[in-house]
A = this chain, B = another copy of it.
Amino acid sequence: MTNDRALADALRLAVDPPGGVNVDALRELTRADSEEDWDISAAAEHLGVSPHTLRYYERADLVVIPRDQAGHRRFDAPTVRRLVFLTRMRASGMPIADLRRYVDLVDAGADTIPDRLDLLLEHRDTLRSQIAQLQLALAATEYKLATYQEGPQP
């Protein structure tokens, strides 16, 4: 199914950064036959955030988290997918408020797609200029390192 490939790719993009998502565990969770939802501590660990943060995201209306009959949060595959998206966007500096706008649009249905596109395009531009800026800072830092390391007294 091409949608499954897409999901797998998207999840692969969520690998790597320090404290990042455990992709194998995610893949396990997203298998249709998996009955093993996560509790909050498992979800927090896999997503690389604290349980407090997950509750905070729920309180901030970024995500609706299903509960079991004891009232405990059950992190199923769709919930985790949204949280992967949220944590990735947060890690790249998108403010909570923008994220809420976005998920509101998602929840509002398919005819908000143009607005979502706008948001994403804007975020893409933000990311690009952030990257450019950091690369400048990196160059400046490496330059300074070089002056320290070659001439003893720069």
Which B residue's beta carbon lies closest to that of A137? B92
Chain A, 128-144, contact with B by CB distance < 8 Å: what is the 0/1 string? 11111111111111111
- Does A27 sit at the interface, judged by CB under 8 A? no
B132–A17 contact, CB under 8 A?
A: yes
User: In the docked arrangement, what's the CA distance between A138 and B88, Å?
Assistant: 10
Task: Report if A117 contacts B (CB, 8 A).
Answer: yes
The stretch that binds B, out of A7-15, A30-38, A49-57, A66-74, is A7-15
A102 to chain B, nearest CB (A): 10
Closest 4 CB pairs of A and B: A92-B137, A13-B140, A127-B138, A17-B133
CB distance from A60 to the nearest CB of B (A): 20
Which A residues from 89 to 141 make CB contacts under 8 A with B? 89, 91-93, 110, 113, 116-117, 120-121, 123-124, 127-141
Q: A120–B135 Cα gap in the complex (Å)? A: 15
Contacts of A132 in B (CB 8 A): 16-17
> Nearest residue in B to A2 (C-beta to C-beta)?
B151
A6 interface residue per 8 A CB criterion: yes
In the bound complex, residues from chain B placing their C-beta under 8 Å from that of A10 are: 140, 143-144
Closest to A139 in B: B13
